[in-house]
Amino acid sequence: MDLRHLRYFACVAEELHFGRAAQRLGMSQPPLSQQIRALEEELGVQLLERTSRRVRLTEAGRQFLPEARATLAQADLAARTARSAHRGDVGRLRLGFSTSVPFIPRVVDALSRFRQAYPQVSLELDELTRDEQLSRLEQGLLDVAILRTFSKPDLPANMQSLRIQRDGVILAMRQDHALAQRTDALTLDDLRGEPLILFGAVNGAGFNERLIEQCRALGFAPNVAIETASFATLLGLTAAGLGITILSRSFMRLNVETLAFKPLDVPFTSELLMLHMDLPSAATSNFRRMIAEPQ
């Protein structure tokens, strides 16, 4: 059944006059009459009684009119829903992120602006390791991955990346630690013998391997006293004086009363990347546009 026929019928039923209905529809009267007859022939019933003096609905026409209007309204809703999905106004955005992401103003600001601009998009957030993010992205279980890496990951050809920012590292320790009192630049050589509290290798985005490699090049092995998977545990144990830790420079914004943060001069940096597969959804494209906007 042609939706145009339903629209023509509804208009004639409202006007009860072919001339006025044709004018309202922006067409001439003969084609309108032909379309109504075609609809009646398709249905096998008469919808309108026509005389030289008036037009009125038959009983079949009166029963058919609300159903025709409901069908037109549903078709209009379906069209608007499709257009909204095409623009990314509805749908969902499944986003995985690494531990430091909630401390990155550029990412947090983009998430806030995205939520305000697209309130009907379901935003699903999940803190995951780098390998978990890459795996879920390839499986289609994530739309976006935001991860930190100290060595460029080997990405599939159909995965796109956007560098959000590049970061150095800082040393975090209790404020009464000897290194916190230093006024000169700290280097990896200052870590000799210091008990280190680090993320476990699975959460470290390649940092632990890079640190060990650089320290060995200086002639010593770092003293990794504790490895943890929890950022809260990492900070808590450092604040308790059980060791010192190395963090991305982004964490310099943390306000932990008992901790001191000092830049650490190292021959490498980390990158914060946004990853998504080729042919991204409209919601993914909208989020990428927001996070790529200059601050």
pLDDT tens digits, one per residue of 64-89: 999 999 999 998 888 887 787 777 78
Residue 205: pLDDT band (50, 70, 90) is: low
* Domains 3-87 and 91-166+271-292 alike in fold: no
User: What pLDDT score does 267 carry?
Assistant: 87
pLDDT tens digits, one per residue of 110-135: 999 999 999 999 999 999 988 899 99
Indicate the CATH number for domain 91-166+271-292.
3.40.190.10
- Are 59 and 67 spatial neighbours (Cβ–Cβ below 8 Å)? no
The full DSSP string for the chain is: --HHHHHHHHHHHHHS-HHHHHHHHTS-HHHHHHHHHHHHHHHTS--EEE-SS-EEE-HHHHHHHHHHHHHHHHHHHHHHHHHHHHHTSSEEEEEEE-TTGGG-HHHHHHHHHHHHH-TTEEEEEEE--HHHHHHHHHHTS-SEEEEEESS-----TTEEEEEEEEE-EEEEEETTSGGGG--SPEEGGGGTT-EEEEE-TTTTTTHHHHHHHHHHHTT---EEEEEES-HHHHHHHHHTTS-BEEEEGGGGG---TTEEEEEEE-S--EEEEEEEESS--HHHHHHHHHHHS--
> Stretch 50-76: mean pLDDT, rounded?
90
Average pLDDT of the chain, as a whole number: 89
Domain 169-268 indexed as CATH 3.40.190.10: yes
Residue ranges covered by each domain of the chain: 3-87, 91-166+271-292, 169-268
User: What pLDDT score does 202 carry?
Assistant: 63
Residue 295 has pLDDT above 70, yes or no: no
Domain 3-87 indexed as CATH 1.10.10.10: yes
